[in-house]
Amino acid sequence: MAVARCLCALLALAVAPAPATAQMTVDLTSRESIKAAAKLIAANLFTYYHGDEPGQTPGILPGPPPAGPYYWWEGGAMWGTMVDYWHYTGDTTYNSKTEHALTFQANSPANNFMPPNWTASLGNDDQGFWGMSAMLAAETTFPDPPPDKPQWLMLAQGVFNTQAARWDMGECGGGLRWQVPPTNNGYDYKNAIANGILFNTAARLARYTDNATYAAWADKTWHWMVNVGYIDHEFNIYDGGHAPKNCTDIDLAQFSYTAGIFIQGLGFMYNYTNGNPEWEARLRGVTKRTIEFFFPDGVAHERACELDDRIQCTTDMLSFKGYLHRFMAQSVQVAPIMRPVIMPVLKASAAGAASACLPDGTCGFRWNAGRYDGLTGAGQQMNALGALTSLLVEEEVTKLPVTNATGGTSLGNAAGGGDPSVERVDKPITAADRAGAGILTMMSLAGMTGSFAWMSTKFGERR
């Protein structure tokens, strides 16, 4: 309480002296005020979405490059953001679009989020983001689709099954490769985000279904990450390494969404195991390091590309901070011991996010400047929306994630998902296709630091 009140004061101070660059005013102690701000930010987010207009493809943001800046996965991430928006605010405005988007891209009847249209940029992480949004819909009892459509739980299971089948013992002692089709650039890379999403999905399915097979997969994936050195003894989580090098050429870049995905998955394993001390230590360890690293001055920074003197983030990276907030908040729901550690951080950071928005709900990227920086996009809107709505996790009316035994209504199919392999791509692969979701392999190919200018010209980023 004290923390939030003092943040309001800070916000007010920041607003007062400069009416020319007006900021959105939001009282972070008031559910109604947060809801009103979130409504404006969501409306602005939807100015980027045209998937339900004639001739457009439901579910996707404009893209992939060069058709527009957004890869397929970011649509999946957006619908998860909107499931949380509904869950926290009760505003049903976007529910039918959300349901339509998630079911349209599901690739029925396999129900595995591997639609042929997007094979050329199909990473396990791209697929997995859609899967995590479906899992969230099951956990929050987002309205179930009609019976002739795929159901939330079966979609998450379809993603899990196809990914588990792709676990690759060839090199590195196991692990998921980044890309799915062997012809995609990045197939030789095994990375933290792909394996983190498998860990996250397995942990949540374990809790939802009380099926120990999923928990065993989460356990296995966690230990693989540690064994291969992608998670170090201080709980830094590094980007990945190449299979031909037995994953020893570790790219030390760290991204906030990867940390968020592990914190959420760890919360679920902590809960599933009824507070097992080993999982608690891991949860506390990753959370502590994440707060130190990604919130250096109290607000979230995308450290690898949000530099003091310039922003070098790709369109993908411009959206990561929102997932970090949302996933840390859901971890608090299943691991209440983390509330005193996580919530003050999310509150301070959300105040920064709000200070970067204009009164009409247009938001910038930097959260530590105390003003709108003019760098706009769907990712920035999702960041601010995620930061504000996540504060409502503490409201009494906010429901806890359900399980199949405690109010869950979503139908599953433990054997679903169909063929996990995609052997060939039916159209010529362009450089833009190859970049895929994380674009992270491109970065490691280019030699990490200092390579962003090359990337942003090469891949036609709009900024």
Q: What is the token pair recorded at 143? A: 């309205």
User: Looking at beta carbons only, is 334 or 422 nearer to ligand NAG?
Assistant: 334
- Residue 209 binds ligand NAG (CB under 6 A): yes
User: Which of 90, 173, 244, 296 is close enough to bind ligand NAG by CB under 6 A?
Assistant: 173
What residues from 338 to 397 belong to the interface with ligand NAG (CB under 6 A)?
none
Closer to ligand NAG by CB, 98 or 271: give it: 271
> Which range, of 8-16, 183-191, 206-214, 353-361, touches ligand NAG by CB under 6 A?
206-214
Q: Which of 219, 70, 197 is nearest to 124 (CA)?
A: 197
SS (H, E, C) 44-82: HHHHHCCCCCCCCCCCCCCCCCCCCCCCHHHHHHHHHHH
Cβ nearer to ligand NAG, comparing 105 with 221:
105
Is residue 227 a contact point for ligand NAG (CB under 6 A)? Answer: yes
Contacts of 447 (CB under 8 A, 6+ apart): none
404 counts as binding ligand NAG under rule CB under 6 A: yes
Strand partners, 363: 357
Rounded to an integer, what distance in angstroms lies between the CA atom of residue 363 and that of residue 128? 27
Q: How far is the CB of 25 from ligand NAG (least distance, A)?
A: 33
Of 189 and 295, the one with the shorter C-beta distance to ligand NAG is 189
Cα–Cα distance between 460 and 448 in angstroms, integer? Answer: 18
Residues 10, 14, 341, 400: which binds ligand NAG (CB under 6 A)?
Answer: 400
Binding letters toward ligand NAG, positions 99-118, x by CB under 6 A: -----xx---------x-x-
Residue 234 half-sphere exposure toward CB, CA atoms < 13 A: 7
Contacts of 449 (CB under 8 A, 6+ apart): none
**For ligand NAG, which is the closer residue by CB, 39 or 339?**
339
Dihedral (Cα; 226, 232, 233, 236), 10-degree rounding: -120
The percent of the chain in helix, strand and coil, each rounded to the nearest 5, is: 55, 5, 45
Residue 348 or 393 having the CB closest to ligand NAG:
393
170 binds ligand NAG (CB under 6 A): no
Task: Kindly give, in sequence order, each residue whose CB lies less than 8 Å from that of residue 221, ignoring residues fewer than 6 positions away.
Answer: 195, 198, 199, 202
Using Cβ positions, the residue closest to ligand NAG within the complex turns out to be 173
Amino acid present at 119? T
* Positive or negative torsion for Cα 18, 387, 141, 117: positive
Instruction: List binders of ligand NAG among 47-66 (CB under 6 A).
Output: 57
Q: Which stretch binds ligand NAG (CB under 6 A): 255-263, 294-302, 328-336, 440-448?
A: 328-336
Site residues (CB under 6 A) for ligand NAG, limited to 10-49? none
Residue 172 contacts ligand NAG per CB under 6 A: yes
Between 29 and 57, CB nearer to ligand NAG = 57
- Least separation in angstroms between CB 281 and ligand NAG: 14
Residues that bind ligand NAG (CB under 6 A): 57, 104-105, 115, 117, 161, 172-173, 209, 211, 213, 227-228, 246, 271, 274-275, 334-336, 400, 404, 412, 414
